Amino acid sequence: MTAEQDASHNEQEHAVNIMNVDYSTKIPNNVNLSEDRQVLKALEGWHPGYIDWWNDMGPDGFQQSLVYLRTAYSVDPRGWAKFDYVKMPDYRWGILLAPQEENRVIPFGENFGQPAWQEVPGEHRATLRRLIVIQGDTEPASVEQQRYLGKTAPSLYDLRNLFQVNVEEGRHLWAMVYLLQKYFGRDGREEADELLRRRSGDADSPRMLGAFNEATPDWLSFFMFTYFTDRDGKMQLHSLAQSGFDPLSRTCRFMLTEEAHHMFVGETGISRVVQRTCEAMKAAGIGDPNDVAKVRALGVIDLPTIQKKLNLHYSLSLDLFGSEVSTNAANAFNAGIKGRYKETAIDDDHRLQNATYPVLKLIDGKITKVNEPALTALNMRLRDDYTQDCAKGMLRWNKIIALAGYDIRLELPNVAFHRQIGEFRDVRATPDGVLIDDATWNKRRNEWLPSSDDGDFIASLMTPVTETGVYASWISPPKVGIDNKPGDFEYVKIET
Ligand code: BYC
């Protein structure tokens, strides 16, 4: 072999190693942990606390069941996962980064065009750490929120999807913990421990962002959460995937591969609920989909209640974008830490020093569009991108309703509706965006958001279905199975 051939052979070997995951260490990884003893030790030290957290706060029950899960074995987009029966506590939570792009440069901000950082720049340390901690905090929070859903799953297929989402959110926590432990020294290790200490909804030690302290009481909420809140995750991960801090960028790029399935679970879940409701209404000859009592008597969820759940989860998720006008967002962009959605595909100067962006604000009691400096309006821009992405689901669900012959549509509520963060947090608005006073809000709130009666009705449908290939009365079977398996495949072998 010539020196040149040898070098090329080594390069190929390296590429293969990056693509394939090393399973020889306790923590599967493609970041060469076996030669990074200090970080391996820190992660191994964190591992028992993680397992304790999983046992205390992960899925309630089913820990001895065999679940047909996918596990990432490579980061090659052409084939990165293997499916097999796994007991959840034995799932191999690993550290996986997308392959390093050669000569990658920072794609935006004041450092536009300079080589991406392989280490944390001192002046941006605090901002980077804060964003990584916030991202990390959401992952275990969602597992905690979904802890009891296994007990009421509408089928083994859905049960398996819930657990797939849960183990992968666990892996996303590992991804952020790796970054904290490798790049942020002692304070990174302390933050990693704190991520296991906070609890969703806890009065003294809650999770960091609002939506992650809300309950996910039933499966319709779970589907709404995976459609709307995981989609915030998609937008935020896309923005962080643009980061000039290359290890963060590579981490987020791989997380996005897994995230797609979570949103699929949400979108198809809602589709299946809508489908079942429409079929049942049609079969019973119900002409008015707003006749809630009649529809509920069929054992399916009426469309007005689905709309209320949608209103709730969309508005909670909008809050996750922060204030419309934010100096935090401007600073993170200027620094080259957090970019825009699909930054590299945008045709502009990527610095935004003189650009403006239209922002909805409350001016003299009216919702008004005003131009703001594009730099401070970055949260608004990302939120707009998010809304566009959310609208695609409405089209699919409304098609199902229209095909069934019903004249009713699911709609995204106005961005001023039910907000706790940003411009509209101090006002009351209808889903159509009409500002109203507190008295009107209190009188009509239950028309727009799920009431406790709605909650009780949905809860009454949440009886578990554990027979292979059988689905609860309120949801249609999926069109396709997981990993090309049929709907009557035994996705979970339940062992109590
Ligand atoms: N709740 O300038 P502002 C996911 C705080 S989901 C509570 O308005 P900024 C997933 C903010 O922290 C994606 N506090 O906003 C989905 C700040 O506090 P400090 C998670 C909030 O900073 C499903 C203050 O208000 N990843 O992955 O520009 C399942 C003023 O902030 C909230 C990320 O979010 C809130 N909703 O933007 C599993 C990415 N909103 O610092 C996983 C990382 C704002 O003054 N995070 N505040 O004490 C970020 O990019 C930004 O921190 C935010 C906020 C977009 C969240």
Q: What end-to-end distance do the CA atoms of the chain give, in Å?
A: 58
Ligand 1 within 6 A of CB of 414? no
**Shortest-distance Cα residue to atom 45 of ligand 1:** 328
Per-residue pLDDT of the chain (496 residues; tens, 9 = 90+): 444 444 444 444 444 456 778 888 889 999 999 999 999 999 999 999 999 999 999 999 999 999 999 998 888 878 788 999 999 999 999 999 999 999 999 999 999 999 999 999 999 999 999 999 999 999 999 999 999 999 999 999 999 999 999 999 999 999 999 999 999 999 999 999 999 999 999 999 999 999 999 999 999 999 999 999 999 999 999 999 999 999 999 999 999 999 999 999 999 999 999 999 999 999 999 999 999 999 999 999 999 999 999 999 999 999 999 999 999 999 999 999 999 999 999 999 999 999 999 999 999 989 999 999 999 999 999 999 999 999 999 999 999 999 999 999 999 999 999 999 999 999 999 999 999 999 999 999 999 999 999 999 999 999 999 999 999 999 999 999 999 998 789 999 998 7
Ligand 1 within 6 A of CB of 331? no
| Ligand 1 center from residue 425 Cα (angstroms) | 15
Question: Is the alpha carbon torsion for 52, 74, 100, 107 positive or negative?
Answer: negative
203 DSSP 8-state letter: S
Vertex 70 angle, CA 67 and 71, to 5°? 115
pLDDT value at position 10? 43
pLDDT value at position 24? 83
| Ligand 1 center from residue 25 Cα (angstroms) | 34
Ligand 1 within 6 A of CB of 216? no
Comparing CA positions, the residue from 160, 171, 161, 230 lying closest to residue 50 is 171
Give the C-alpha distances (Å, rounded to integers) separating 174 from 180, 247, 248: 10, 14, 13
| Ligand 1 center from residue 329 Cα (angstroms) | 10
| Ligand 1 center from residue 20 Cα (angstroms) | 33
| Ligand 1 center from residue 321 Cα (angstroms) | 6
Which of 124, 135, 171, 209 is the pocket-test mutation for ligand 1 (most atoms within 8 Å of CB)? 209
pLDDT value at position 18? 60
Residues 340, 333: Cα–Cα separation, whole Å: 8
| Ligand 1 center from residue 122 Cα (angstroms) | 22
Residues 130, 302: Cα–Cα separation, whole Å: 42
**Shortest-distance Cα residue to atom 35 of ligand 1:** 209
pLDDT value at position 196? 98
Ligand 1 within 6 A of CB of 146? no
Ligand 1 within 6 A of CB of 142? yes
pLDDT value at position 373? 98
Atom of ligand 1 nearest to the CA of 323: 8
Which of 239, 328, 331 is the pocket-test mutation for ligand 1 (most atoms within 8 Å of CB)? 328
pLDDT value at position 149? 98
| Ligand 1 center from residue 131 Cα (angstroms) | 8
- Amino acid, single-letter form, for residue 150: G
Q: Estimate to the nearest angstrom the gap between the alpha carbon of 120 and the chain centroid.
A: 26
Ligand 1 within 6 A of CB of 188? no
pLDDT value at position 14? 43
| Ligand 1 center from residue 209 Cα (angstroms) | 6
Atom of ligand 1 nearest to the CA of 329: 28
Atom of ligand 1 nearest to the CA of 379: 28
Ligand 1 within 6 A of CB of 236? yes
The structure tokens listed for 320 are 């996750």
pLDDT value at position 8? 43
CB 154 within 8 A of CB 219: yes
Ligand 1 within 6 A of CB of 322? yes
CB 341 within 8 A of CB 385: yes
Taking the model in full, what pTM does it have?
0.95
pLDDT value at position 23? 85
| Ligand 1 center from residue 400 Cα (angstroms) | 35
| Ligand 1 center from residue 146 Cα (angstroms) | 21
pLDDT value at position 22? 87
| Ligand 1 center from residue 381 Cα (angstroms) | 15
pLDDT value at position 7? 42
Ligand 1 within 6 A of CB of 127? no
| Ligand 1 center from residue 365 Cα (angstroms) | 26
Question: Is the alpha carbon torsion for 261, 263, 265, 268 positive or negative?
Answer: negative
Ligand 1 within 6 A of CB of 133? no
Residues 279, 300: Cα–Cα separation, whole Å: 10
| Ligand 1 center from residue 206 Cα (angstroms) | 14
Which of 323, 378, 389, 390 is the pocket-test mutation for ligand 1 (most atoms within 8 Å of CB)? 323
**Shortest-distance Cα residue to atom 46 of ligand 1:** 131
| Ligand 1 center from residue 231 Cα (angstroms) | 14
